[in-house]
Structure 1
Amino acid sequence: MFNTAVLERVLIASLVVSLVGGAAFAQEVGKSPWGPKDEIGRLNLITPESRAAILSRIEGSKSYDLAVEYFIGMPSWEAAGDPPYQMWMTHTPNGTLVSDPMKVGKEMNAHVSYTGSAVSMYAHMGTHIDALNHFGLNSKIWNGYAAADHLGDQGWTITGAEKLPPIVARGVMIDVAAAKGMQMLPDNYRITRKDLEDALKSQGVTLAEGDVALIRTGRMQNYEDKSAYMSNPPGLSIDAAKFLVEDGGAMVVGADNLSFEAFPAETENNYIPVHTYLLAQQGAPIIELINLEKLSKDRVYEFAFVGASLKFRGADAAPIRPVAFPLR
């Protein structure tokens, strides 16, 4: 059931003002109903009772890994100059025979094979979760925290990825592509509120407060082809995002693409309005590049969602390894 009092406070605090046609859109960040020190937004909806309730319903015979693989040449957001994924070997069995980095001698190196590697990556790569400091408005982020006060040379002192708790909640996949009889939504398709309503109806599933709502566009089928995956992806509209949070009560929103929202933006004064609406105004973290293909194939629409992100201190995002467990 909805906690209407909390939901109403979130909506009032968020100061959302949107007009069809891209006129005025919300210009202020949301203030948390969970207090002036809140750093996790709608993740406060996770309680001991909510965790226990969903875990008690796990069927147990099957699980679905919703994460993608990381590899050189993988899809990544490079339009703003961010680096691609790189991996290199720091130690190899043959290399240690030559360089003897541990000074143990050739005979020992021939006996003990040593392999080591390193990676370099943008935080928003692969299956990841956006922290609430990823996008803001007017130099402030969720709950009114100002960059001038809380952003240092080593990241944010508040709302960093390390603050995100493990997510254990009811998950709902909304298979928009399948509901439209498509393998994949067309390029630049903007998902509407009606698209989500129709998909939920066809699946026989409703949203509830505290859900992790995951949108399938079908774009994940192109994941191995960087150009095809990144080129003109479909994504959410503002109205669809509002439906998920304000009407559906979603705690976290995710999708199988990287841009998450459709471009070009619907608003003239905000080039990325869905991100700022969810993160800065509603305090709802975003999960991107989540692999929903196996759930779609098996028509699993409701499940226990369990996922924990890496604790990148002060970061605006971190990789997450989500798992879905079908329910009894």
Structure 2
Amino acid sequence: MRALGLILAGAILAVPALAQDAKKQGEKNWYPSKYGAEDTKGAMNNLSPAGTIEAAKLVKTGKTYALGVVTGPTTPAYPPRSYSATILQSNDGQGGAMGANKVTAHDDIIHSWVGIGTQIDGFAHLGIDHHYYNGVKGNELYSPAGVTQYGTETILPTATRGVLLDMTKYYGKAVLDPGTAFNRAEIDAAAKAAGVTIRKGDVVLFHTGWMTKSASDPQGYIAQQPGLGVEGAEYLASLDVVMIGADTAALEAIPFEDPTKPFIVHQTLLTKHGVHVLESINTAELAKDGATEFMFVLGQPRFKGAVQMVINPVAIR
């Protein structure tokens, strides 16, 4: 576990230097955003009432799918992230019920990182050389009590079309190999096989089978994984999707396509294009049912100033 933490820390610390190198190569033209220099919504500008109405038409059976995993003490998490709960007996077990109707109760306190389990990454989570979405500098949004811009409480409520691309079918494997990176060719082939066309305002989810390792090998589930490649990230962003997720802990392929550029898919989506990243999405039941499109619904907890958040999106068919 300690070694894994050092690997992650080293990768994260490497990002500013690598981003500086990218800046020297003239790659800093990712801001201002195409949505405007003052924009804070990113790709969520592509959501619309019309898109919600169209997504609702996909509901045929009324079956719902919880896309979030249970978050608890044993949930795989990047060190030093952890979870614990304290249950308080407000009056239960202490001999005194309240009122003539004898009310008893419990309360709770959760001590947890919010980047654990199924989660959404906000725009303040990861940047390029201390710049975040639309070029906002880290020192302009950072506060120890919560970021002053791009807090996940500002993410718009989402009810739109979701698309599942089952990459296990494309590769012919129940669980994809770690480091497998899917890009435009693989995405297009998987979409064609599913009979779907990715559209503006969509949420795109990938099924890789990797989540089966989360219980049997939690450290391995975190340390390496199949996932989205940088070309694939650029491609999906060009299609104006609003969120991209997978049944993996980082969405992108680890080992990284280029070991000198850690978490470049996150940089591409969050920082350059304002596309939210969804991690550890439970896609297994959707894949089992052969679902390819559905209504995707998310209303995340609105904890002020958080840079990421534990979520439980719902798919409805």
> Normalization by structure 2: what TM-score?
0.84
User: How many residue pairs end up in the alignment?
Assistant: 294
Determine the structure 1 residue equivalent to 2:78.
77
Match of 1:251 among 242, 253, 263: 242
Determine the structure 2 residue equivalent to 1:88.
86
How far off its partner does 1:289 sit? Answer: 0.8
Q: Are 2:54 and 1:53 aligned? A: yes
Q: Are 2:239 and 1:239 aligned? A: no
2:188 maps to amino acid: E
Distance 1:60 1:87, change over 3 A: same
How far off its partner does 1:232 sit? Answer: 1.7
Comparing 277-286 with 216-225, greater Cα deviation is found at 216-225
Do the aligned residues in 1 keep the contact of 2:177 with 2:226 (CA within 8 Å)?
yes
Do the aligned residues in 1 keep the contact of 2:176 with 2:226 (CA within 8 Å)?
yes
CA offsets 1:110-160 (integer angstroms, 9 cap, x no match): x54432222122121121111111111121111111122221221211111
Q: Are 2:164 and 1:173 aligned? A: yes
Match of 1:210 among 201, 204, 215: 201
Do the aligned residues in 2 keep the contact of 1:66 with 1:292 (CA within 8 Å)?
yes
SS at match of 1:303: strand
Determine the structure 1 residue equivalent to 2:4.
none
Distance 1:278 1:323, change over 3 A: same
Distance 1:167 1:86, change over 3 A: same
Match of 2:307 among 279, 296, 316: 316
SS at match of 2:236: helix
2:151 maps to amino acid: G
Identity over aligned pairs, percent: 28
How far off its partner does 1:58 sit? Answer: 2.1
Match of 2:150 among 159, 170, 188: 159
How far off its partner does 1:236 sit? Answer: 1.4
Larger Rg: 1
CA distance in 1, matches of 2:110, 2:30: 35
Unaligned runs of 5+ in 1: 1-22, 98-104
CA offsets 1:82-104 (integer angstroms, 9 cap, x no match): x211122222876534xxxxxxx
Determine the structure 1 residue equivalent to 2:261.
270
How far off its partner does 1:168 sit? Answer: 1.2
How far off its partner does 1:36 sit? Answer: 2.8
Q: Are 2:192 and 1:191 aligned? A: no
CA distance in 2, matches of 1:272, 1:28: 19
Aligned residue runs from structure 1 range 124-143, under 5 A: 124-143=115-134
Determine the structure 2 residue equivalent to 1:300.
291
Distance 1:266 1:107, change over 3 A: closer
How far off its partner does 1:76 sit? Answer: 1.0
Distance 1:188 1:274, change over 3 A: same
Distance 1:179 1:313, change over 3 A: same
CA distance in 2, matches of 1:196, 1:48: 27
CA distance in 1, matches of 2:296, 2:54: 12
Distance 1:283 1:325, change over 3 A: same
CA distance in 2, matches of 1:28, 1:268: 24
Do the aligned residues in 1 keep the contact of 2:120 with 2:308 (CA within 8 Å)?
yes
Aligned residue runs from structure 1 range 5-84, under 5 A: 26-27=27-28, 29-78=30-79, 81=80, 83-84=81-82
CA distance in 1, matches of 2:167, 2:305: 34
Q: Are 2:149 and 1:149 aligned? A: no
CA distance in 1, matches of 2:219, 2:26: 32
SS at match of 2:215: coil
CA offsets 1:231-286 (integer angstroms, 9 cap, x no match): 4211211112122222x432211111112112333346532110001000011001
Distance 1:28 1:138, change over 3 A: farther
CA distance in 2, matches of 1:224, 1:90: 29
How far off its partner does 1:215 sit? Answer: 0.9
